[in-house]
Structure 1
C-alpha cells in the first residue's frame, strides 16, 4: 500500500472510511482494548497519532463522521470547475494520487480538511457529545463590546480547544518529517484552522422590562461552515507559489514579482495540471461526462469545461413542482409536473 506522505492521512485514508461506515458503533464502547486494537491497525499513523487515537476514540469517531461535511463543502466550492474535489473509492485515499502533488488544489484540500476537524470537534464539544470537552470555560463573568456590557452565558464554542487538538493530531506526522512538503502542509493546515476562528460571532439574548435589553447574555458561536469554505476558496484563488528558503525553515516567493505569503495565505510548490483528461499519475479524473452549461462563458461553460472536445446533448425528463397554490392559513399545495430539459455533457478523450 502506498501511504500518503501527509499528516492527515488518517482521515483521508480508506481506513477511516471503513472506521466510520462499516465498523459497528458499539466498538467505541468496548473500552481501552477495543480502541487500541482499532487504532493499531489504521495504516499511516505516527506514534503520537496512535496514542491520541487510543486515548480519545470518541473524538476520532466525531472527526470521521465530520468528513462528509468538509468534503461536501469542497465539492460545493469547485462544483463548476474542471477539478471538482472529486473523490474515489478505488485508491488508498479519498483523492487518489492528487495528494502526492504540491499543487494549489492540494493546498485547499489540506486547509479545508484541517478547518473541518476544528469545526467538527468544537461542535461536538458544545453539543455534549464528548467527555473530554464542553463549552468554553473561559467565557464567564462579564465583558463589554461596542454596545456596552454583557454577561457571559449560554454555550460558547470551545474553538481554542478544538484548534489545539487538531494541531496536535493533524500536524504530528508533518512535524516528524520536516521536509519541504511537510512545511507546505503545516502552513495550509494552520491557515485552515485560523479560518474557523476568524468567523466566530458574538450572539446575545436580551433581558429587561418590555424588551428593553437592559441586560444581555452573550456567547461566542462559530459561523456556518460555508463562510469558512468561501474564505478558503478566495485564498485558493490568491494562493502563493513558493520555494523553501535557504535555511529550510520557511518560504520565499517562487517568483520575484510574487508577494511573500502571509500566515493566512495558501501556499503551493508546483503548477496544477489542466484536469482536462484522465491521468492517473497526476490524480486528474478528466472532465469527460461532466455536465456543462452551453450558454455560459465561465468555467462551467461547455467550451471551458470540455476543453474544446465538444459535448453531447440529451433530453431528459425532470419532475418539478408547479401550479402551487396558497391555502389559508398555512399550507402551499403543488402539483408534480414533468419537464423536458436538455442536458449537455462533455465528450470523453478520443
Structure 2
C-alpha cells in the first residue's frame, strides 16, 4: 500500500504518534494509562486476549488512521486522493473548498488493517466491530463548512466542504465507548462457518458499542508510583493503598503585557504545588 500511495508511510507515522499522544493524555489519571502491558513483571500484553483495553486500542488505531488520511487528502499529501482529482484544477482548489476526505480515510483504514480478510469467527467479528466503532467516531465529527462569495459580502454563491474536528474531540467519544464497552460470552463452537451469521446478527444489534471477550486483570498492580491529579483522584488510582505528598516547583508565564505595539512580554513566576504519588 505504501509503495502504491506516495505519502502514506508518513501519514501512518503521524497517525501512530497522534494515537499514542492522545491516549496517554486522556488516560493519564486512570488506572489503565494506555500501557500495552498490564504487568511489567509478568509481561502480560493487552493483546494476549481481547480485553476491554484491547478493544479500545483497535478502535483508537482505526480512528487515528482515518483522521490522518482524511486530513492528508485535504492538504494534498497523498497521491491517491488529492484536491486536483476532486476539483480538476489545482490553482482553484482552495476556492472550491477541498474538504477532509472521510470516505477515503475509512477505505484506507480498512485496507491497512486487512478488514476483509480478518475472518468470520468470533474473534474476527469482535475485531471488526471495534474497528468500525473507531472509524465512526471520526465520521461523527464531520461537519459542513461553507463560504459565501459575492459583491460586498453578499452570499450570491456559496461553496461548502467537509471538515473533521480535532482528534481530541473523537478521543472524548472513544473514552465513553471504553467505559461502556460490552463483554460478550465466548462461544463454544466447532464450526466457524456455521455460527458466523449468528455472530454477525448479534454484533449488528450493538454495532455502536465496543465489544470485548475477556475480563481485564487487576489494574491496581501497575499503579504503584503513579502521579495523581488530586487527592480525590488518588482515592481511585491508588486502589486504597494510600499516597505520599511532596512539593515541586512549577514555572509559568505571568504578568504579561504588550510592549512597543506588537510584542508580548511576560515574567516567569515560580510556585510550589503539591505532588501526590501512589504508594
Task: Please indicate, yes or no, whether the TM-score normalized by the shorter chain is above 0.5.
Answer: yes
Contact 1:235-1:266 within 8 A present in 2 as well: yes
Q: Which has the higher contact order (CA 8 A, sep 6+)?
A: 2
Contact 2:181-2:211 within 8 A present in 1 as well: yes
Q: What TM-score, normalized to structure 1?
A: 0.67
Residue 153 of structure 1 is matched in structure 2 by 96
Structure ranking higher in helix proportion: 2
Contact 2:59-2:132 within 8 A present in 1 as well: yes
Contact 2:231-2:276 within 8 A present in 1 as well: no
Contact 1:244-1:252 within 8 A present in 2 as well: no
Give structure 1 stretches of 5+ with no counterpart: 1-51, 141-151, 254-258, 278-285
Residue 289 of structure 1 is matched in structure 2 by 225
- Offset at residue 107 of structure 1 (A): 1.0
Question: How many residue pairs were aligned?
Answer: 262
Contact 1:75-1:84 within 8 A present in 2 as well: yes
Are residue 323 (structure 1) and residue 255 (structure 2) matched? yes
RMSD (Å), alpha carbons: 2.9
Alpha-carbon separation, structure 2, partners of 1:188 and 1:202: 26
Report the 3-state secondary structure (helix = DSSP H, G, I; strand = E; otherwise coil) of the residue aligned with 1:72.
helix
Contact 2:5-2:79 within 8 A present in 1 as well: no
Are residue 206 (structure 1) and residue 148 (structure 2) matched? yes
Give structure 2 stretches of 5+ with no counterpart: 89-94, 190-194
Deviation per CA, 1:224-276: give whole Å up to 9, x if none: 112211111222222112236771342687xxxxx985222111112222311
Q: 1:219 aligns with which of 146, 153, 161?
A: 161
- Offset at residue 66 of structure 1 (A): 2.0
- Offset at residue 326 of structure 1 (A): 4.2
Alpha-carbon separation, structure 2, partners of 1:198 and 1:263: 14
Q: 1:265 aligns with which of 209, 222, 227?
A: 209
Deviation per CA, 1:321-340: give whole Å up to 9, x if none: 23333446444322112212
Alpha-carbon separation, structure 2, partners of 1:224 and 1:139: 25
Q: What TM-score, normalized to structure 2?
A: 0.82
Report the 3-state secondary structure (helix = DSSP H, G, I; strand = E; otherwise coil) of the residue aligned with 1:333.
strand
Report the 3-state secondary structure (helix = DSSP H, G, I; strand = E; otherwise coil) of the residue aligned with 2:45.
helix
